Amino acid sequence: MSKNPEFVKFDKVDKSYDGKVLVVKDLQLDIAEGEFITMLGPSGSGKTTCLMMLAGFETPTHGEILLDGNIISNIPPHKRGIGMVFQNYALFPHMTVYENLAFPLRVRKVEKDEIDKKVDKALSMVSLSGFETRMPAQLSGGQQQRVAVARALVFDPAVVLMDEPLGALDKNLRESMQYEIKHIHESIGVTVVYVTHDQSEALTMSNRIAVFNDGKVQQLSSPAELYEKPVNSFVAEFIGENNTFNGEVSDISGDKCKVKLSNAEILSNAISVKSKGEKTTVSLRPERALIEPSEKMDNIFSGKIEEVIYHGDHTRVRVNLLSNPEFILKVPNSTSNLELKLGQEIKIGWNSYDARALDPK
């Protein structure tokens, strides 16, 4: 049986809290059955509001939301067949792990034997078999979040909604949980709608990403397409900060190429270019470029500091480099004793394998 490409449908949905300002504007979005879609955007962009409308905790001001072809606007949250995972876990502290997972099944009048089977299966899915009698307070943050994921899946929901579910975890745990949730999704094929403001998380986990800004979806694409082919400056800035140089391929050999700019030539990885003479945009992450490199690097040029901003763990430096006045570097403060001043001339270097020759923008 083929999967429904419009399993979840936002049909011309507006949302206003005060009757004046629209926090979601004319949203037209289809989510396929079994898809992992991420709503990504800065605070106040409308992504969480969309999730809450789908869950039933908020009501659209205009338009309809459909689930498997049925309008769900008047269906209360607990009858929508939707699982939810929140950032703060939302486990019942007075219940054991087993009781937390059994709760949504008991509400649905599932038989005791069947509850046992479903709880076992859900705990096995998140690698927590044997934890049935533990209380939430006896679990680590990562284990609590796994229980929350298991509880959202235990009743075989049509859709699982995840609202910043990894936000409270430390970096390493957060990254391992990203893969864990991704693998669970791949193994059971449930439709997942995920909200985050973390670009890296969205790129890691999603089939498609909807980038929100100012209540509208700016672009809806696969992670690769979003990263390599942003449709506007907002998306380009929001999905991983990039330095870009526009030029023409002057030489190509294997996976490396030389790119001729108006005033220099740079060496790059040939990602999307195939032959000499092609126009290209070379992309370079800010953290890959070094100031006053001590080692020999493939690309070393002089630039002038235009702006220095202290960010705690790193300093963000804007430089006029190769006719690009918006070239950004991120200098780790833990390793740098450089004194950086406005107007200062500095050498900047990076290796060819850190630069990517992409399609021209």
Question: Where do the domains of the chain lie?
Answer: 8-238, 243-358
Q: How far apart are CA 297 and CA 300, in angstroms?
A: 7
Tell me whether strands 216-221 and 208-213 are parallel, antiparallel or unpaired. antiparallel
| pLDDT at residue 265 in the model | 96
Residue 343 backbone class (left: φ over 0; alpha: ψ -120 to 50; beta: rest): left
Q: What is the per-residue pLDDT across 106-143, written as a single tens digit (0 to 9) for each?
A: 888 889 999 999 999 999 988 899 999 999 999 988 89
| pLDDT at residue 233 in the model | 60
**Helices marked H in 57-169 — which ranges?**
97-107, 112-125, 141-153
Residue ranges of the chain with per-residue pLDDT less than 70: 1-2, 89, 228-233, 236, 335-336, 359, 361
Q: What's the topology of domain 243-358?
A: OB fold (Dihydrolipoamide Acetyltransferase, E2P) (2.40.50)
| pLDDT at residue 40 in the model | 95
CATH of range 8-238; options 3.50.50.60, 3.40.50.300, 3.10.129.10, 3.10.20.30:
3.40.50.300
Q: What is this structure's pTM?
A: 0.72
> Any idea which residue has 């800035």 for tokens?
237
Amino acid at 314: H
Q: How far apart are CA 60 and CA 320, in angstroms?
A: 47
